Amino acid sequence: MDSHPHTPRQFPYQAAEPAQPPRRPRSQRRRLLQAGCASLALTLATTWGTAQAAYPDKQVRIVVGFPAGGGVDGVARALAERLSSQLGQSFIVENKPGAAGTIAADFVAKAAPDGYTLYMSETAFLIAQIVMPAVKLDAERDFEAVGSIGVLPLMLAANPKLPVKTTEELIALLKNNPGKFSYGSAGVGTPHHFIFEMFAQKSGVDVPHVPYKGGAPMLPDLVEGRIELGMLSSAVAAPLVKDGRLVALAVTTAQPVSNLPGVPPLSETLPGFDAASVFFMLAPKGTPGDVINTLNTALQTAVRDPAFQKVLETQGALPMSDTPAELRQTIRAEAARWQEIAQGAGLAPQASTGAP
């Protein structure tokens, strides 16, 4: 038996409730919750903005689809130097030549879309995606546009033995002698090739094409008369014209070129003719917009630099700057233009390339 009898429990039993702090009014709790959410959002936004503002925080590669020492390579290296100075990180040039720049394009397309691998491209890539069956890339679909860098006008040149001094005289001669004279280019699918085809189609002349493996091998044959006509960069052509070894008939841009004074544009004979090889920069698809904008701002600053413009001039190029949206429009228009020229020249475009 229990030696300590206890008081019987009374029913119904209710345990004593602990003391509760006074509750805040509902409106006050709502204001505190809203203030907390706003503070968290501000913290996240600040953290994200700081992370994004850090670009670039390591070395950036500019991939070039042509060998070291060439014109595109020289422009890329001068550009890399200025981007390094502006953005405080090293920009280096990496050469991956071959297949009209498409080897380099494929490499960049597969890179991480973080702004640390960029593609220094040009018109040859836009043409390659049309006429080369193996190329599955598309400049608009598979890349982000960063910005343009420059344009390379070409010159329509003739061997001095050809009895012409103007574009009008050349067109008349070619129409009276269809298929008799030939022209050379730096290769099938190069801007030199397609711009001459554009000239031939607009003027209604028939001139057989002799493709070379680059512009350098073509020059001796043009100077010595084994071919009568050629499309050349103004930097290459100017010394030969000055020495009297070539006759400059016209430049392919709508405006005259400073290092070829007195040489008229083709548009004076063929209204609306305006063609050149465009240099531009692309990034992998999905690269963040703020990274693209940072690069574009630095790119435009570099292109406005008089010292950089001198580098362009040594290559026979003219400065060109634009926004990413404007470059997208240029790519779309240029791809459509060259597809039309390819069809007219009998170079059937490949539907699988996705060219716009």
- Condensed to tens digits (0 to 9), the pLDDT of residues 292-345 reads 999 999 999 999 999 999 999 988 899 999 999 999 999 999 999 999 999 999
pLDDT average, residue stretch 113-126: 96
Q: Is the pLDDT of residue 348 over 80?
A: no
pLDDT of residue 243: 94
pLDDT average, residue stretch 229-244: 91
Q: What is the CA radius of gyration of the chain?
A: 32
**Confidence class of residue 84 from pLDDT cuts 50, 70 and 90?**
very high
What's the N-to-C CA distance of the chain in angstroms?
Answer: 100
> pLDDT higher for 206 or 37?
206
**Confidence class of residue 5 from pLDDT cuts 50, 70 and 90?**
very low
The answer to whether 184 and 230 are in contact (CB under 8 A) is yes
Whole-number Cα distances in Å, 243 to 167, 175, 239, 248, 251: 20, 29, 6, 11, 18
**Confidence class of residue 174 from pLDDT cuts 50, 70 and 90?**
very high
**Confidence class of residue 237 from pLDDT cuts 50, 70 and 90?**
confident
> Which span out of 20-24, 234-238, 317-321 was modeled with the highest average pLDDT?
317-321
Q: What is the pTM of this model?
A: 0.80
Strand partners, 232: 155
CATH of domain 154-268: 3.40.190.10
pLDDT tens digit string along 25-74? 555 555 555 655 555 444 544 444 444 458 999 999 999 998 888 888 99
**Confidence class of residue 137 from pLDDT cuts 50, 70 and 90?**
very high
pLDDT of residue 267: 96
Q: Is the pLDDT of residue 4 over 80?
A: no
Question: For domain 60-151+278-349, which CATH number applies: 3.40.50.720, 1.10.760.10, 3.40.50.9100, 3.40.190.150?
Answer: 3.40.190.150
The answer to whether 280 and 101 are in contact (CB under 8 A) is no
Q: Is the pLDDT of residue 350 over 90?
A: no
Distance CA 280, CA 324 (A): 10
User: What are the structural domain ranges in the chain?
Assistant: 60-151+278-349, 154-268
Q: Is 225 left (phi over 0), alpha (psi -120 to 50) or beta?
A: left
Q: Is the pLDDT of residue 206 over 60?
A: yes
In the block, tokens 């860098």 appear at 149
Are 60-151+278-349 and 154-268 the same fold in CATH? yes
| Burial of 256 from C-beta contacts in 10 A (0-12 / 13-18 / 19+) | middle
